[in-house]
Amino acid sequence: MTVKEVSALWEELAPLAHAESFDNVGLLVGDPNMHVNGILVTLDTLESVVDEAIEKKCNLIVSFHPIIFKGLKKLTGSNYVERVVIKAIANNIAIYSMHTALDNSMIGVNSKICEVLDIKDPKILIPKERTIKKLTTYAPLVEAEKVKQALFDAGAGELGNYSNCSFSTEGIGSFKASEKANPSVGKVGAVHLEKEVQINMIFSFEREQDILNALFTSHPYEEVAYEVLVLENTNQDLGMGMVGTLENEMDEADFLNQVKARMNAGIIRHSRLLGKKVKRVAVLGGSGAFAIAAAKSSKADVFITADVKYHQFFEAEGNIVIADIGHFETEQFTKDLLVDYLTKKIPNFAISLSESNTNPIKYL
């Protein structure tokens, strides 16, 4: 398989279009047409990880965090980022990053945290806005089902756990073809009335081009009438963080100690304990202080995240326990998720879980 072909498998799990606008995801180093000999999965791409890839004869590194985040103006090896890129290029190793595309996935970073902590029935904490679009088009009655099926096949009409969702109404369409036209029905220069079906479907924004291609290919008319609108509907399957419930409620201290053990956290920084039972828990891997208000609105008893600043702990305001367990700690199991996912997709391929501990923070 080529780097491009393997990347397509990752993007089924976490389409790059789902990444945040500030992020740098996708293939960062290497030739997309290079043949892949082996894959090394890591949380961070450091020099030690590139050395490990060389040793294991892996020429594709799939990293959660992007090694290139800001623009590089030179490659002289003056810092760890430049040294990683230079070594990867010198050894013909490609580097691919998923980062916030996987953060926003329904089965990504936060889903894995919920799995480790036995948080049941998790839902998206902060749904990504303006990601659902609606297509309205018109097809002749005899061709409508053919057009609908082509749109379904391209990914339109998916709503939560349902697919092939649409709404249709019948009516009469009219048009008059000019002398330059080549109409499939009707005559040039004459007004034509045709029994048509108005077809309405929603779709996820990143599928728009594929869906329009399917529309134009399947539709019999020379000129296709259609509208695409952006909806304000909540996308229940895409966004940051998750919130769910414990099977059995726990004391706050007992729950935090369980989190510490299961997440291998060296220490947990938390706001004041409230003396309440913990039943509902919100999580957000990585730097998640921006979601404190959302966690409170979700009625979570505890919010587990990382990189919370001093003054941000005050935002708990006696309504929630904010628990900072460490950036690496919240995301460490992500690489296991990626290895498991790709092993199922290509079971006979050489896929390795990096043994390098890339956590830059140490505890006494």
The DSSP string of 284-322 is EEEE-GGGHHHHHHTT-SEEEEE---GGGGGGGTTT-EE
Domain membership flag for residue 155? yes
Low-confidence ranges of the chain (pLDDT < 50): none
Residues 163 and 117 in one domain: no
Q: Could you report the per-residue pLDDT of 246-281, keeping only the tens digit for each?
A: 999 999 999 999 999 999 999 999 999 999 999 999
Residues 147 and 196 in one domain: yes
- Is the full-model pTM beyond 0.85? yes
Domain membership flag for residue 162? yes
Q: Could you report the per-residue pLDDT of 194-223, keeping only the tens digit for each?
A: 999 999 999 999 999 999 999 999 999 999
Q: How far apart are CA 179 and CA 34, in angstroms?
A: 51
Looking at residue 111, what is its pLDDT? 97
Residues 51 and 185 in one domain: no
User: What is the residue range of 195's domain?
Assistant: 132-230
Put residue 121 in one of left, alpha, beta given phi > 0 → left and psi -120 to 50 → alpha. left
Residues 11 and 97 in one domain: yes
Q: How far apart are CA 77 and CA 92, in angstroms?
A: 17
Q: How far apart are CA 342 and CA 39, in angstroms?
A: 10
Which CATH number characterizes residue 155's domain? 3.30.70.120
Residues 87 and 45 in one domain: yes
DSSP annotation of 347: T
Residues 293 and 144 in one domain: no
Could you say which of 230, 265, 283 is where a domain stops? 230
Domain membership flag for residue 358? no
Residues 9 and 41 in one domain: yes
Domain membership flag for residue 322? yes
Residues 116 and 84 in one domain: no
Domain membership flag for residue 335? no
Domain membership flag for residue 311? yes
Residues 307 and 260 in one domain: yes
Residues 70 and 113 in one domain: no
User: How many domains is the chain built from?
Assistant: 3
Contact 109, 53 (CB under 8 A): no
Could you say which of 177, 199, 230 is where a domain stops? 230
Residues 213 and 256 in one domain: no
Binding residues: 65, 103, 327, 331
Binding residues for a divalent metal cation: 65, 103, 327, 331
Residues 255 and 226 in one domain: no
Give the number of residues written for the chain: 364
Q: How far apart are CA 9 and CA 76, in angstroms?
A: 34
Q: How far apart are CA 268 and CA 291, in angstroms?
A: 18
Domain membership flag for residue 277? yes
Domain membership flag for residue 253? yes
Which CATH number characterizes residue 310's domain? 3.40.1390.30
